[in-house]
Amino acid sequence: MRSLYKYVVFPVLFLCFWRPLCAQEKEEIPYEDDDVLKSSQVTIRNVIVSGNKITKEYIIAREVPLKKGEKYPISSILGNIPQARENLINTGLFIDATVDFTRWMNDSLDIVVDVKERWYFFPVPYFKPVDRNFNVWIKEYDASLSRVNYGLKLIANNVSGRNDKLNVWLITGYSRQAVLNYTAPNFDKTLKNGISFDFLFAQNKELNYVTDQNKQQFYKNDKEFVTDRLRIGVGYSYRTGYIRRHSVKLSYNIVRINDSAFKRNPEYFGNDAKKVNFPELNYQYQHFNLNYIPYPTRGFLWDVAFTKRGISKALNVWELSGKAGKYWEIAPKYVFSLVGLANVKLPFDQPFFNRQLMGYNDMFLRGLENYVVDGVGGGVSKATFFREIWNPKLKTGLRSRSYGVIPFKFFVKVYGDAGYVYSKKIPGINPLNNKLLYSGGAGIDIVSIYDAIIFLEYSFNQLGEKGLFLQARLGF
């Protein structure tokens, strides 16, 4: 346990070292406690929107807390102007947005909103390894092109100017996938109710049929597809205010594996089944009070989801998952964050199909990306101290209001992670199950337009391993 300190405590000590140096740099916000500004009220004559060619004006106005014809204290107006900009950026519709006031005459003024719209329609060539991340693809499979999917993604965001999204994916190569998805988060006049439709059909020549040594073991057949899946679903969402959203999704699923895969793991689905048909009901509550959702530097978040998968003995799981995070801007450009994720699946006796936990999606430890830990309950905590060090702007030479200049932000960071996964039964030899896990390291994050983020991290883990890890995200 003594080695745990260098991974978890080091970021905290680093934070304590810097905090006294940064304390005197904090900016003052003069209007928050000013009694005169609180008592003096001003009427909003108009909310004037510019820069939008596709986005409907009322969709933009919905994100501005200051409403036409309403009267507000001056302090409230000054406080809601930066909040309006954050709301607009977090819609994912704009590269940039500015919000200000103008024509202040006596007891009234105008709010002006200027936005720079993204490109919303992308025929995107698709080329991606089938493995969980680039590190696994490079280290374990020598970046083999035979383990790559390719095809075309037709991505249409803001189709009708109401922030609705249409995705059509046609993927082939190592696997096949056809996806049709449409989401309309503001389909009614109140701009609070949303609907979605979802269709997926996928076939794969490879199946992760078991985990051994905390590594995914695959069965592969180049001559035929060993598994296929069909999903049809509908969804409903309800948005309250600016930072809270409820969503419910109902889908029907059919999943099949072939005889050869079944022989390698008869308990893949449990109950000696090669095929399962099941409904799935999912409820999710999101509360994102963040300045920039893809890469927050201030605020907090709550994200809780409940899933009921299957209603028969063939497949039956109750799943509860949650994510919480807090981001402190302890001084200009200095940020400390704590993020926790947790998941539990009941009953604890689950087949392999329902046991994926750590190492998938956001539930992972930095420095243990090459491993997975299956189970029915567990959690991860991540502590990060980071600082913005460079904010360059690349001139593209394009005569474009939105793309003449492309901004970048560079952050340096140190971090420490810890996690635990419980498994009632552990097929094979998986030494990371039912054990406290921890890791740490340092890295550089690069943030740019379209929510593009590159994570370059040098990590250590409790196994004595160390190395460079690369992660990338793109927001379309």
Residue 145: pLDDT above 90? no
Separate counts of helices (H) and strands (E) for the chain:
6, 24
pLDDT at 400: 86
pLDDT at 31: 52
pLDDT 10s digits, 366-380: 999 999 999 999 999
pLDDT at 7: 46
pLDDT at 38: 72
Assign 16 a pLDDT band (cuts: 50, 70, 90): very low
> Are the beta carbons of 360 and 397 closer than 8 angstroms?
no
pLDDT at 131: 74
Least confident among 165-169, 174-178, 212-216, 358-362: 174-178
The mean pLDDT of 242-269, rounded to a whole number, is 96
pLDDT at 132: 65
Q: Tell me the percentage of the chain whose pLDDT exceeds 90.
A: 72
Domain residue ranges of the chain, discontinuous segments joined by + = 1-29+326-476, 31-115, 118-265
pLDDT at 2: 46
Distance (Å, whole) CA 79 – CA 77: 5
Assign 148 a pLDDT band (cuts: 50, 70, 90): confident
Assign 21 a pLDDT band (cuts: 50, 70, 90): very low
DSSP helix/strand/coil, 104: strand
Assign 12 a pLDDT band (cuts: 50, 70, 90): very low
pLDDT at 127: 78
Residue appearing with tokens 């509908």: 234
How much is the mean pLDDT over the chain? 89
Residue 10: pLDDT above 70? no
Residue 130: pLDDT above 80? no
249 φ, ψ (degrees, to nearest 5): -130, 135
Residue 248: pLDDT above 90? yes
237 or 177, which is more confident:
237
Write down the pTM of the prediction: 0.86
471 or 7, which is more confident:
471
The 10 Å CB-count burial string (b at 16+, else e) for 237-262 is: bebeebbebebebebebebbbbeebb
Least confident among 81-85, 220-224, 455-459: 220-224
Q: Which residues pair with 385 in a beta bridge?
A: 336, 414
Distance (Å, whole) CA 2 – CA 25: 35
Report CA dihedral (388, 389, 394, 400) to the nearest 10 degrees. Answer: 20
- State how beta strands 41-50 and 108-117 pair: parallel
pLDDT 10s digits, 276-321: 999 999 999 999 999 999 999 999 999 999 999 999 887 899 999 9
The mean pLDDT of 107-122, rounded to a whole number, is 94
Q: Is the peptide bond before 392 cis (omega within 30 degrees of 0)?
A: no
Assign 137 a pLDDT band (cuts: 50, 70, 90): confident
The mean pLDDT of 323-336, rounded to a whole number, is 97
pLDDT at 36: 63
Distance (Å, whole) CA 76 – CA 74: 5
The mean pLDDT of 111-131, rounded to a whole number, is 87
Residue appearing with tokens 């969503």: 247
Q: Exposed, middle or buried: residue 437 (CB in 10 Å: 0-12, 13-18, 19+)?
A: buried
pLDDT 10s digits, 220-231: 887 889 999 999
CB atoms closer than 10 angstroms to residue 192 = 16
The CATH code of domain 31-115 reads 3.10.20.310
